[in-house]
Chain A
Amino acid sequence: MAGQPTNVRGTPVRSADLKKGRVFTTTYVPRIQYAWDTGQAIGRYLEELKNGRLIARRCNNCQRIMIPPRMFCERCFGPTHAWVVVKDTGTVNTFSLSYVSWDVRRLKKPEIPAVIEIDGASKGMGILHVLGNVSPKAVRIGMKVRAVWKPAQQRTGSITDIAYFEPIKGKAPAAKRTAKKPFKAKAKKSKSRKRR
């Protein structure tokens, strides 16, 4: 028996049919602009970015210092209790070398997005940013990094007021693995390929 599904349909459109107008199409570009209220927590976060520092919120109930800051704690569902200025240094929790831009253009030099656990916030509290002033081959999980701020007069109250995070020289990373020769498998204990 041929197997299900049977009689599957769907008609591929070739580029030539589109170019020559044999396939009728309509295009639409939505003209939608938003002005999102940033709210108390992120409003203050942006203000402090303009001032050149990172700020978090503490939940006394859960003993957590959270960044990005929030006015309520999603765990205990109570209000958070205090502002805490945290450091602008941290540890690379994970990273990538991205050769593709957000709109899918190919990049020669990769962007290096990373989740950075911020010093002074609770363990595991990271933010998304990019790394710079570092060879892609040298980036490691566990690497200590610091914020490189734009000059004060260029700061606008945006996460991009931090141009990027760069390695703190002299601080040895926790792991020895590099991006070029990544993570040599140490878990390959089972040599046999037996089928159970």
Chain B
Amino acid sequence: MRRVAVVGAGMTKFIHRALETPKELSWLAAKAALDSAEMKLDQVDCVVEGTAPDAFDGVHMNGEYLSDGCGAWKKPYLRCYVGGGTGVYALAQGWFHIASGLFDTALVVCEEKMSTCLPHPQAAFLTIFDNITEQPLKPNLLWIFALEMNRYMSVHGYSVEDIAKVSVKNKRNALGHPSAQLGAELTVKDVLASEIMAWPVHRLMVSPTSDGAAAVLLASEEVAKRVTNKPVWVQGVGWCLDSAYWTNRDLYYPDYVEKAAWMAYRMAGIREPRKEINLAEPYDPFAYKELHHLEGLQLAPKGQAPRLLADGVFDRDGDLPTCPSGGLLGVGNPIAAAGMMKLCELFWQLRGEAGPRQVPGRPRRGVAQAWGDLMQVGTVVVMGVN
């Protein structure tokens, strides 16, 4: 397999309700990624696009609709989809194209425009539950997160307060992100004082619904070395789905994230993730999710992530900075674009270009992860400077 590098990245602002159409958002992000590499559309060999369920953009065949906004005019083009895990998986899809030797460059674009969906984007999530045995109970998306969070806290003996610290950290980190929707300086008290959505989930522990897009440009080693002196290498990719029977599993631990992580780590030659990874962008649509995923990613022992968080290990200047971007909680959550935003963050951090968000100590390797479907899919990408 050939080595693949990220050579450009770009994104839109993440906002509650955008004027731009989904394809205009895609174009803004894709163009920004191309511009950052000082490359033109005719240098792009193929295009990969990622969006979550069609229900948000409200366009059936959303991939085809978005194609021109993604720069796919008369090019090989493919949409990929693994629920909320799409944003990180999309890069793996682009990686295949180049690692295989089929193409030398791939533009990977992720987009979501959730504000299209009325009365509230949440309503679209009803359809992810089993249509016959679960939907008649009128579930909402908060249920499964709350059920999982309760299980996680209960098994390991943590309080809502322990979890709330994730919101404080990520929303603070987001203050340094030009695209951020919800950067804020908050205290644990503020988070706990916000209204209870579905106990134990409070409003400030939930990422917002957002409109936005993000993109990266991938290149083969030969092209990468020609177009930039700071390529960031894709060292490993991994993904895994667990059973759709989510009520038959113990939700306290994401096995599927562990499997996906080891797939990516093996490819990257990583044996001791905690020692060999300098920063992480775990998926944080809800506050506890970051901790849950850090354990799945083998970056904290089972049940220990909240303690490491309290010790400051995951702060921007801590030993293992997590979500230095501000994460979904701070930057926003246009589903597939949010996962791609995490990959953009690794790119900027590893190149030392993250400005006020830059983690100290010249990080050499980072991991990004997304999650989705019915507590089901883990998608993982490892990137590094060599």
Contacts and interface: CB of A to CB of B under 8 A. Distances in A.
> Is there a direct interface between A and B, measured as CB atoms under 8 Å apart in the complex?
yes
B17 to A, nearest CB: 5
A16 interface: no
B200 interface: yes
B251 interface: yes
26 contacts: A3-B353, A3-B358, A8-B13, A10-B20, A28-B58, A70-B245, A96-B143, A98-B140, A102-B123, A104-B120, A104-B140, A110-B199, A113-B139, A113-B146, A125-B247, A126-B247, A129-B137, A141-B154, A175-B154, A182-B160, A183-B153, A183-B154, A190-B311, A193-B312, A194-B311, A195-B311
Contacts of B12: 8-10
B1 interface: no
Interface string A101-115: 111100000100111
Contacts of A103: 119-120, 122-123, 126, 140
Nearest to B123: A103
Interface stretch (B83-91, B101-109, B127-135, B261-269): B127-135
Interface residues of B, number: 90
Contacts of A97: 146, 196, 198-199
B250 interface: yes
A147 interface: no
Looking at chain A's contact residues, the main secondary structure is loop
Given A115-B251, A184-B159, 20 more contacts: A2-B355, A3-B178, A5-B179, A5-B348, A8-B11, A9-B13, A10-B15, A68-B245, A94-B151, A94-B154, A96-B150, A98-B198, A99-B195, A99-B197, A103-B122, A127-B133, A128-B137, A158-B136, A187-B306, A194-B312
A71 interface: no
Chain A interface size, as a band, is: 35 or more
A47 B311 CA distance: 54
A7 interface: yes
B362 interface: no
B161 interface: yes
Sorted nearest first, the 9 A-B pairs with minimum C-beta distance are A3-B355, A96-B146, A10-B13, A98-B198, A97-B199, A11-B19, A94-B151, A104-B120, A126-B247
